[in-house]
Amino acid sequence: MPKKTFPCGHKGNGQYCHTCQQLAAEQEEKAQAKVEKQQWKQSFAEDPIDLRTLPRKKLVLKARTILDAVRSGEPFQHFNGKRMNYNRKIISIPIDNDYRILFKEDDTGLIPFDLMSHEDYNVKKPGASKL
C-alpha cells in the first residue's frame, strides 16, 4: 500500500497522522502537569505554617492531615506528640523521623507555629528565641 501525505506534511498509511496526534497528546500532558503543579504550589497558601521545606509530597500530605486533625480537636497523643520538658506549653508532633511540627498551647487550643527538621529540633536549646 503506498504511503500518502497528510495535510501536515507527514507521510503514512493511516487515516490520520499518528505523529501529530502523539505530539498533541504530549503537549496536553505537559499542560495538565503544569496546571497540577500550579495548583500544588497554590495549596501551600492555605497552610497555617510553611510546609514548603518538606522534601516529599507524602510528607506534606501527612503534615496537613495532622494539622487538620489537631485543629478539629483530636488529641496530640494520637500522633505521638509530646510536651517539651523545658516548656510544657510547647508540643512536638513528629511527621516522620526527620521532621517535627511544633505547637503552642493556649486557651483556645493548639496553635502550630513551626516546622523543624529533626536535626534543627535536636540542636535547639531550651528557651531559645524561636521556642
C-alpha cell, 131: 521556642
- pTM for this model (two decimals): 0.72
Residue 131: its pLDDT value, please? 46
- CA torsion sign, 56 to 60 to 61 to 65? positive
pLDDT per residue over 110-119, tens digit each?
A: 899 888 887 8
The CATH code of the domain that includes 110 is 3.30.2310.20
Query: Is residue 2 included in any domain, yes or no?
Result: no
Residue 109: its pLDDT value, please? 84
Residue 96: its pLDDT value, please? 87
Residue 33: its pLDDT value, please? 93
Query: Is residue 54 included in any domain, yes or no?
Result: yes
Nearest to 90 by CA among 72, 111, 67: 111
Q: Is the pLDDT of residue 1 over 80?
A: no
Q: Mean pLDDT over residues 36-57, rounded?
A: 88
Considering the domain architecture, whether residues 115 and 59 belong to the same structural domain is answered as yes
Report DSSP letters for the chain, one per residue.
---EE-TTS-EESSSS-HHHHHHHHHHHHHHHHHHHHHHHHHHGGGSSS--TT-SSHHHHHHHHHHHHHHHTT--GGGGT-EE-SS-TTEEEEESSSSEEEEEEEETTEEEEEEEEEHHHHHHPPTT-TT-
How far apart, in Å, are the Cα atoms of 29 and each of 7, 19, 25, 42? 24, 15, 6, 20
Dihedral pair phi/psi, residue 116, rounded to 5°: -130, 145
Q: Taking the CB of residue 112, how many other CB atoms lie within 10 A of it?
A: 20
Q: Is the pLDDT of residue 68 over 50?
A: yes
pLDDT per residue over 73-129, tens digit each?
A: 899 899 999 998 888 888 999 998 889 999 998 888 889 988 888 788 777 655 555
Domain that holds residue 31: 12-42
Considering the domain architecture, whether residues 54 and 115 belong to the same structural domain is answered as yes
Considering the domain architecture, whether residues 58 and 20 belong to the same structural domain is answered as no
Residues 6+ apart with CB under 8 A from 5: 11
pLDDT per residue over 4-39, tens digit each?
A: 888 888 888 888 888 888 988 999 999 999 999 898
The number of distinct structural domains making up the chain is: 2
